[in-house]
């Protein structure tokens, strides 16, 4: 679809040049992972071309706000998405849909339609994947670098709270990600040292 490659180049350029080096999790790799998972949903669910196009754009732009803030970054991402999309000639309606997809990823997630369900489950797909520990270690390192978490035990407690509160939205994630996530919860609970 027209404008996607230009937008992709711009978005990845912004992320690569402006993201803090302390963002070990919210980085270009995370964005590309979300795009990859979105593409898997698009194929799996046979999503129509226009919706697929907007999902891919939302995946690309959903964490742009981290280039400026890590507080309420989704709203910053929404602003930056509008600016970039207008610059690339997108319609107001397409921009509005992408902004809804980005806002849906805010924790706690509250998606309102199928595309938002896909977006949310793509963003947190790793919670139920084999690479969970590798990715969650990057998030721990990031939160420690910005002084949100101070030690591994506090991190494990925070992870349990987050994992137990988190819900997948798509049938695929409920079937193929939730069971693995449940196992992670049990494993992490064993690691917690009560002080």
**Residue 63 structure tokens:** 């964490």
Q: What is the pLDDT of residue 122?
A: 98
Q: What is the pLDDT of residue 36?
A: 98
This prediction's pTM: 0.95
Q: What does the alpha-carbon distance between residue 61 and residue 74 come to, in Å, rounded to a whole number? A: 10
**For the chain, what are the domain ranges?**
1-123, 125-195
Q: Give CA separation, 131 vs 33, 48, 104, 184, in Å.
A: 12, 30, 24, 11
Q: What does the alpha-carbon distance between residue 49 and residue 40 come to, in Å, rounded to a whole number? A: 14
Written as tens digits, the pLDDT of the chain (195 aa) is 677 888 999 999 999 999 999 999 999 999 999 999 999 999 999 999 999 999 999 999 999 999 999 888 999 999 999 999 999 999 999 999 999 999 999 999 999 999 999 999 999 999 999 999 999 999 999 999 988 999 999 999 999 999 999 999 999 999 999 999 999 999 999 988 765
Q: What does the alpha-carbon distance between residue 56 and residue 43 come to, in Å, rounded to a whole number? A: 12
Alpha helices by DSSP H, the chain: 4-18, 28-45, 49-61, 73-87, 92-104, 114-123, 132-145, 152-165, 171-176, 178-191
Q: What is the pLDDT of residue 160?
A: 96
Q: What is the pLDDT of residue 194?
A: 66
Q: What is the pLDDT of residue 185?
A: 96
The CATH number that domain 1-123 falls under is 1.10.3210.10
Q: What is the pLDDT of residue 85?
A: 95
- Based on C-alpha coordinates, what's the Rg of the chain? 17
């Amino acid at each position: 679809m027209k404008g996607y490659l230009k937008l992709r180049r711009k978005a990845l350029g912004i992320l690569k040049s402006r993201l803090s080096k302390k963002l070990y999790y919210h980085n270009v790799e995370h964005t590309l992972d979300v795009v990859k998972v979105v593409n898997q949903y698009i194929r799996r669910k046979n999503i129509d071309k226009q919706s697929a196009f907007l999902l891919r754009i939302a995946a690309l732009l959903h964490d742009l706000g981290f280039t400026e803030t890590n507080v309420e970054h989704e709203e910053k991402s929404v602003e930056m998405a509008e600016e970039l999309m207008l610059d690339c000639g997108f319609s107001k309606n397409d921009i509005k849909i992408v902004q809804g997809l980005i806002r849906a990823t805010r924790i706690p997630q509250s998606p309102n339609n199928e595309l938002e369900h896909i977006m949310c489950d793509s963003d947190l797909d790793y919670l139920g994947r084999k690479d969970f520990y590798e990715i969650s270690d990057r998030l721990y390192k990031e939160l420690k670098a910005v002084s949100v978490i101070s030690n591994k035990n506090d991190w494990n407690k925070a992870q349990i709270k987050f994992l137990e509160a988190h819900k997948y939205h798509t049938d695929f994630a409920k079937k193929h990600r939730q069971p693995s996530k449940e196992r992670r919860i049990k494993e992490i609970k064993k690691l917690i040292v009560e002080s």
